[in-house]
Amino acid sequence: MTTRFQKFASIFSALCIIGHTLSAQLAPIKHIEGRWDITVTGKDGKTSPSWLEVNHSGVKYLNGHFVGSGGSARPISRINFEGDRVSFSIPPQWDAAEKDLVVEGVLSGDKITGTMNTPNGEIMNWVGVRAPKLNSTRTPVWGAPIKLFNGKNLDGWQATGANNQWIVENGILKSPKSGSNLRSTQTFNDFKLHVEFRYPKESNSGVYLRGRYEVQVTDSEGRDPLKDQLGAVYGFIAPLEMPAKPAGEWQSFDITLVGRVVTVVLNGKTIIYKNEIPGITGGALDSNEGEPGPIFFQGDHGPIEYRNIVITPAK
């Protein structure tokens, strides 16, 4: 006669076997799972940043997200991983007539090396390293505020392109037309940033934190708070609400960044509160997430104006 204890022991044994089987099936893919900071090198030797996230879906399959040198974070429905080889493809983001981006690589320890076959047919080399967690258990001790913009000239700033269209007029930092982006010469780790901005109707810019994470600046009055609208961490984090003012009016950001954790206040309202930024956004200067970086303004998407740019770095 089977006792209750024997039934319990039998069920427990079966659960242990299932658990062991699942662990064994997941073990190989755990080597590739996680976030990867990528540097891509073209035929001309120039480098550009990229980013990859790999997650398991069930016990056999992998999916994830990919960020290229431009555009938003894009989903990957299936990532193939067998032995030490990884591959995936994603359709074009902007032009449906283009070919898929095909990515292949070989995993060795905490590094992946491989090639990207781009939609225009160019084959580029890439190297991926595990992205740092950037976790912090200490509350920041804030230093003295620094005026990044003196209201007189471009001292402390440099254009990232060959032709600089940025000017200073009446205490305002202006990009009157599309052209070069602009970065601070100083770099920072954790900080609080206050910046005021104004754009004409339908224009677009962005404030990059450490030169890697774009907080979107775009004409969004009356629009839904989506991942590509004003105040969003572009492609990753949508704002909770949309307190945007009409185009032509001055608006403000108060942004706190500690490690990967960001809080964004738009026009006095908290629209993102202590959310983790998974990785770099399109248009980042580099993918070296463990290093300090500059404040970086996008100037290639239309006219934009900035003023009262004050940063308070953590000690």
Over residues 154-202, the pLDDT tens digits come to 999 999 988 899 999 999 999 999 999 999 999 999 999 999 999 999 9
Domains, the chain, in order of start with CATH, read 31-130 (2.40.128.120), 146-313 (2.60.120.560)
First vs last Cα of the chain: how many Å apart?
A: 71
Report the 3 state secondary structure along 108-166: ECCEEEEEEECCCCCEEEEEEEECCCCCCCCCCCECCCEECCCCCCCCCEEECCCCCCC
Residue with tokens 């960020």: 67
**Cα-based distances in Å from 187 to 143, 191, 197, 268, 311:** 15, 10, 21, 26, 11
Going by C-alpha positions, the residue among 197, 237, 185 that lies closest to residue 214 is 237
CB 254 within 8 Å of CB 265: yes
pLDDT score for 66? 97
pTM for the model stands at 0.89
pLDDT in tens, the chain (315 residues): 456 555 544 544 544 443 443 344 444 577 899 999 999 999 889 999 999 999 998 768 999 999 998 888 999 999 999 999 999 999 887 776 678 999 999 999 999 999 999 888 889 999 999 999 998 778 999 999 999 999 999 999 999 988 899 999 999 999 999 999 999 999 999 999 999 999 999 999 999 999 999 999 999 999 999 999 999 999 999 999 999 999 999 999 999 999 999 999 999 999 999 999 999 999 999 999 999 999 999 999 999 999 999 999 999
Query: Residue 182's beta-bridge partner residues?
Result: 159, 297
CB 248 within 8 Å of CB 201: yes
pLDDT score for 94? 74
pLDDT score for 71? 86
Q: Is 222 exposed, middle or buried (0-12, 13-18, 19+ CB in 10 A)?
A: exposed
Angstrom distance (rounded) from CA 134 to CA 279: 11
Angstrom distance (rounded) from CA 50 to CA 229: 22
User: Given its phi and psi angles, is residue 60 left (phi above 0), alpha (psi -120 to 50 degrees) or beta?
Assistant: alpha
Rg (CA), the chain: 23
